[in-house]
Structure 1
């Protein structure tokens, strides 16, 4: 059987490293292909993106050579889900032998057209990231604000200045929305149907915004079931 290539797009401030762990646990018929964004992980020395469109274009360049292969699937968490949405809207990746598109841990893209969290002063912005579960308890607050938060703030700025549009067509692959029960964005899951012109399959996991960590095994098994059905 030909393996399904699953492209995994990371969340704000993170690298592709986390997704490499999934390959050991996911079904052998699925091949994980983690996406590394500029300025993160092994591409840390590269300059970041000037616009959200630049990020989407870069990801498309990375995956374009695979799009004629069959079959493929996509998973994006948080900012990665917004990148995935734009890949569907602008590049129609859901029409390319695609088994499944999974948006994870994110409000409807249209929500971010009215969000301005990137303009918060350092301490309130830090507290907002903490509220999402994006800062571990052993992290030094001052060091995080100085060294890591500028990267996250820049990602938020790209998101909140993008100006997302509705898809205005029906996604042509199976589509799902994953969310965490305690995540503030979960109440907006039903709004996805207005962007996608279809009611997606919805799966709510225990946990908050970063349920993909706390519920890793269950998330992987749900991805398996959704892609391989």
Structure 2
């Protein structure tokens, strides 16, 4: 694996020829987080798909590496490595929160069968969304709260590291500009939570404007990270998409 994309087989960071024959699921984590959280998804999708996680610099095994200068540079690096890794296999892209925005731009370059986003406002609703994290300590505390973390219970070094990662990702998001050069030619499935105070129903409905293949909305109970905390419903949905059972998918390539 290259620097940007990691994968797991039977719980280890490795690759396997049998796994490479399966459809691929690309998973992009939220701001301030690494892709290790998707490691548990591989056993759940054994025989169905090979799970790949996008690892941005500055976290987990890449914590010493600098962030890219722009959002576009990150997307280009991910898409280039993804094409070399996945080849012509069927591909579904999943991204949560900030990861959904990156997933959308990656999907514009590689044309997967479907894009699944959760807790992520539509690209047309995104401009300037990270400014409050960069400039405002209260906004950072709100993010810790939506993640179910009490900042006062974290040790100083852990909190400082998390704040640094969140701010770097937020700064990266500020370089994002949505360019309307045609809708995404693949279906979009947008997952939201009825208790999410950071992404509204209108933010999710906005995804309809950026796809020519249809938007399907899904709602669960909980807060901003509800889909990641209780992933079984989305895993079942992803299984259906990866198998193509009764779901209209855009052609690969």
TM-score (norm 2): 0.78
The CA RMSD over aligned residues, in Å, is 2.3
The residue number in structure 1 matching 2:122 is 108
Which aligned runs of 4 or more in structure 1 are off by greater than 3 angstroms?
Answer: 136-139, 141-145
Query: Are residues 213 and 104 of structure 1, via their aligned partners in 2, closer, same or farther at CA, if it must alter by over 3 Å?
Result: closer
Pairing 1:162–2:176 present: yes
Matching residue within 18, 23, 38 for 2:57: 38
Alignment partner, residue 196 of structure 2:
183
- Whether the 8 Å contact between 2:22 and 2:49 is mirrored in structure 1 is yes
Aligned length: 222
Deviates more, 1:178-187 or 1:70-79: 178-187
Residue of structure 1 equivalent to 2:40: 21
| 2:31/2:98 contact within 8 Å kept | yes
Distance 1:167 1:222, change over 3 A: farther
Consecutive unaligned residues in structure 2, runs of 5 or more:
1-17, 246-253
Matches of 2:148 and 2:79 in 1, distance apart? 27
Whether the 8 Å CA contact 1:26–1:221 is kept in 2: the answer is no
2:211 paired residue among 174, 191, 196: 196
- When residues 109 and 141 of structure 1 are mapped into structure 2, their CA distance, relative to the original with a 3 A threshold, is farther
- Does structure 2 conserve the Cα–Cα contact (< 8 Å) formed by 1:118 and 1:160? no
Give the 3 Å change call, closer, same or farther, for CA 155–182 of structure 1 in structure 2. same
Structure 2 CA distance for partners of 1:141 and 1:15, relative to 1, 3 Å: same
TM-aligned CA deviation for residue 73 of structure 1:
1.5
Deviation, structure 1 residue 140? 2.0
SS in structure 2 of the partner of residue 101 of structure 1: strand
- In the alignment, what sits opposite 1:87? 106
- Give the alignment partner of residue 221 of structure 1, picking from 236, 243, 246: 236
Contact 2:187 2:211 in 1 (8 A): no
Using the TM superposition, give the Cα deviation of residue 211 of structure 1 relative to its aligned residue in structure 2, in angstroms. 1.4
Q: Which residue of 1 aligns with 2:222?
A: 207
Could you say which residue in structure 2 is the equivalent of 1:9?
Answer: 28
Q: Residue 15 of structure 2 aligns with which residue?
A: none
In 2 relative to 1, CA 47–159 (structure 1 residues): closer, same or farther, beyond 3 Å? same
Bigger mean CA deviation after superposition, 42-51 or 135-144: 135-144
